[in-house]
Amino acid sequence: MKHRSFNIAALAGWVLPLLVILAIASCKKYNYHGYTLESGDPTVTSIHTYNITDSTPLNDTLVSYNSSGQPTFTVNAIAPRPAPFDSVVTAGNLGTYYLIEGSNLGSTVTVTFNGYPAYFNNTYSTDHSILVQVPSKTPYLGAAANDSLVITTTHGVARYKFTILPPAPTVSSYSDYDFTSNNNFQLTLNGVGFASVSSVSLQGTVSGSTNVNIISQSDTVMVLSFPSSIVTRGKLAFAYKAGGNTLNAYASQELVNVDVAYPIYSNSAIAPGWGSWSWDNAQISNKESMTSASTWNAQYSGGGWKIDGFREGGGNATDGLAYSSSYTYLVFWVYGGTASENIYIAFGNEGFGNSSAYEINEYAVLPGVWTYYKIPISKLLWNAGPGNWSANSSQNLNTCAFFMNSNSVTEQLYFDDVMIVK
C-alpha cells in the first residue's frame, strides 16, 4: 500500500505543475504561433518593400591549379540578385513581395488586392506584420483596379489604399520582324502592359531614332505603323505611365527597315536588275503573304537536286553589289512546305550550282509556318569556297539562291524580304 500511495503522490507532484503551465498557456491565445494574438479589430499603418534587385556589376573569380601548380582564373559575372531593402510605399508591382505592418493581424484569414486573393504564409507573419506577394493576376486596369488592400481577420476587416502599378510593356510576339512605310503596312504586337503606353519610338541600333504611330492598343495587343525613316535597324522603346510617373521600357527584338535595305526580293517584286534564274518553277504568288502582299514561290521537285533563286544582270564581274564592311546581315522570310527540309544558300558570284560543293550555308526550314532568318554575312561562305565575302571583297554579290537536294516530295517554298541589311 505504501508503494501505491507513493506512486499516486509522485504523480500528483508532476500533474500540479503541468496544470499550472497549461493554465498560464491558456491565457495566451493561439500561442503555437510564437506570439500573442490580440482580439481587437485589425489595422494597417504602412506597407514596406521587402527587397530590391541589385544589378551592381559583380564578378565571381574561380581559381584552379594544374599538376604543376599553375593557376587558372575563371571570371564569372554574377547575375542581378535580390537584396534587402526597406522603404514605405503606397503602390506596388505585380509579383513583388511587400511587408504589411499594423496591429491585430495575427488571425488574418484573407488578404486581397483589388479584390483578388493573395497567398500568404502565417509562418512569416506576426500580430503586427504580414509578408505577402502581389498576385500576377491582380487587376490593375478598369473598375476592378480600385486601389484597395483588404485584410480580413477573425475579429474584423482592415482596408488600406494601395495602388497596383501596371507592368512595364513587354512584347511576347511580333507579326513581323521587318517593317516598311509602304503599302499600308502595320505591325501587331502581343504581350502585356500596352494600355499604359503613351508613345512608341524606334531606337536605331547603329544610330538615329524615329517616332512610331500607334494605330490601336489594348493591354495585350498593340498595332503600329511606321513613317519613312533612315533608321536601318532598331528596337522599340515604350513610354508609359505608372503611379503618376512616365517610365521607359525597351523591347529586345531588333526590327529591320525594308525601305533602306538593299533589296533582292521585297515589296512584292524582284529588285530592279535582279531576276529569277531558278532551275524549277518559280514565280511571284499571292497564295501566302508576309510583309508584302505577294511573295516569291519557289518549287523544288521531289527526288531532284534543284536550286532556285536570284541573279543580278548576267552574272558578270561588273554586275551586282560591291562589297562594303557596313553590310551586316542577309535576311529573309520563308514559308515551309509539307515536311521539314534543309536548304543551302548559294551566296556569291559564281552563279547557280547543285553539286555537293554547294552543300554549304545550311539552314532548316520548318513545314507550314513562316520562319525568319537573319544571318550574319560574316557567317556565309562565299561561292563554294572556304572564305566569306570580306575575304573576297574585290568581287560583287550577284547570286543569292536556295539549293535543296534531299526532298522526297515536291515542295513549295514562299520567300519574302530577301535583303542585304546594313
Q: What is the 3-state secondary structure (H, E, C) of 50-89?
A: CEEEECCCEEEEEEEECCCCCEEEEEEEECCEEEECCCEC
Using CA atoms in the order 51, 53, 58, 60, what is the torsion angle rounded to 10 degrees? 70
- Contact assessment for residue 331 and residue 421, using Cβ atoms and an 8 Å cutoff: yes
Using CA atoms in the order 298, 303, 306, 308, what is the torsion angle rounded to 10 degrees? 10
Per-residue pLDDT of the chain (422 residues; tens, 9 = 90+): 434 333 333 333 433 333 333 333 334 444 445 555 667 899 999 999 887 666 677 778 788 888 887 888 887 877 765 666 678 999 999 999 999 999 999 999 999 999 999 999 988 889 999 999 999 999 999 999 999 999 999 999 999 999 999 999 999 999 999 999 999 999 999 999 999 999 999 999 988 999 999 999 999 999 999 999 999 999 999 999 998 899 999 999 999 999 999 999 999 999 999 999 999 999 999 999 999 999 999 999 998 899 999 999 988 889 999 999 999 999 999 999 999 999 999 999 998 888 888 899 999 999 999 999 999 999 999 998 899 999 999 999 999 999 999 899 999 999 999 999 99
The pLDDT, as a whole number, for residue 248 is 97
Q: What radius of gyration do the chain's Cα atoms show?
A: 34
CATH architecture of the domain 261-421 equals Sandwich (2.60)
Residue 204 in grid coordinates: 536605331
- For β-strands 295-300 and 282-285, DSSP reports them as antiparallel
CA–CA separation, 186 vs 78, rounded Å?
40
- Contact assessment for residue 377 and residue 329, using Cβ atoms and an 8 Å cutoff: yes
CA–CA separation, 412 vs 418, rounded Å?
17
CA–CA separation, 398 vs 205, rounded Å?
27
Residues of the chain with CATH 2.60.120.260: 261-421
Residue 54 in grid coordinates: 541589385
User: Among 2.60.40.10, 3.40.50.80, 3.40.50.300, 3.40.50.11540, what is the CATH number of 43-50+86-164?
Assistant: 2.60.40.10
CA–CA separation, 51 vs 56, rounded Å?
15
The pLDDT, as a whole number, for residue 212 is 98
Q: From the centroid of its chain, how far is CA 34?
A: 44
The pLDDT, as a whole number, for residue 21 is 33
Which amino acid is located at 156 in the chain?
G
Question: Which CATH number describes the domain made up of 170-258?
Answer: 2.60.40.10
Residues of the chain with CATH 2.60.40.10: 43-50+86-164, 170-258
- Report the predicted TM-score, pTM, of the whole model to 2 decimal places: 0.80
